[in-house]
Amino acid sequence: MLKVFKYTLIDLARNRFVLGYALLMFLVAQGLFVMEGDPTKALLSLVQVVMALVPLVALIFTVVYMYDTLEFTQLLAVQPMGRKSILGGQLLALAVALLIAQGLGLGLPLMVHSPDLSSLILSVSGSALVLVFAALGALIALKQREKARGVGVALVIWFVFVLLYDALLMWGMFTFSDYPIEPWVVPFAGLNPVDLARIMVMLQVDLAAMMGYSGAIYKNFFSSTGGMLVAGTIMLLWIAVPVLLALRVFQRKDL
């Protein structure tokens, strides 16, 4: 697995998309901090960008990379090496490449302009989103035979997690506001990794009040140690389950 990881990472280190992603994140983060005088406001804007952009980039890049390297994956699969090692090495390299790109593009401006716990939480949440959506991207690429269809599914997933899910949750909260729905709000928000990441950062920046009714509910739950543990566990599951499913699918897949 480490050999596949090593050479895939060498390949990805010179990949234009990865370099472009690092540059884009850097320009956006640096631009927001420079243009916005208040680092907290800049951070708030950056949160919105990260929550939308990171899942999209991780999903699409992973899906496209997996399709583009399919013939080479076949060549690897006829070597005396298990399939788990092949996919494990490739996924690890993809994740590391994207994390390094994000670390340089997002982490550096955060360290320079806002070196505090909120920035750390944003970096960690962003990294978790990279891992979650890279894992989902791999699963999509393995389940769909055609590249166009795979990219389409990835876009739908991004749309659901980043836009539709929140809209439905808001609609539900307003529609059933006369009922005691508080116990349901937290689990439903927590099921979406993007919401989960956003909530964690917002609470850290202490902007839960801006999130209104739901913010109070989130604060009650997630600011506790137990709540943090639950949030971390859900995030880990969002990474582990797609990875395990992808390994399982790849193990049985006709290449």
What is the binding site for other proteins (CB under 8 A)?
3-4, 7-8, 10-11, 13-15, 68-72, 74-83, 252, 254-255
Residue 234 to residue 86: CA distance in whole angstroms: 27
> Cβ closer to other proteins: 73 or 204?
73
> Cβ closer to other proteins: 37 or 80?
80
- 206: nearest Cα among 191, 216, 193, 194: 216
- Output the smallest distance, CB 135 to other proteins, in A: 21
> Cβ closer to other proteins: 75 or 167?
75
- Output the smallest distance, CB 106 to other proteins, in A: 24
Residue 9 contacts residue 97 (beta carbons within 8 Å) = yes
Residue 12 to residue 6: CA distance in whole angstroms: 10
Number of H helices, E strands in the chain: 13, 0
> Cβ closer to other proteins: 14 or 35?
14
- Output the smallest distance, CB 4 to other proteins, in A: 8
- Residues 6 or more apart whose CB falls under 8 angstroms from that of 243 comprise 91, 135, 138
- Output the smallest distance, CB 7 to other proteins, in A: 4
Residue 251 contacts residue 83 (beta carbons within 8 Å) = yes
- Output the smallest distance, CB 215 to other proteins, in A: 45
> Cβ closer to other proteins: 6 or 41?
6
Cα–chain-centroid distance for residue 203? 19
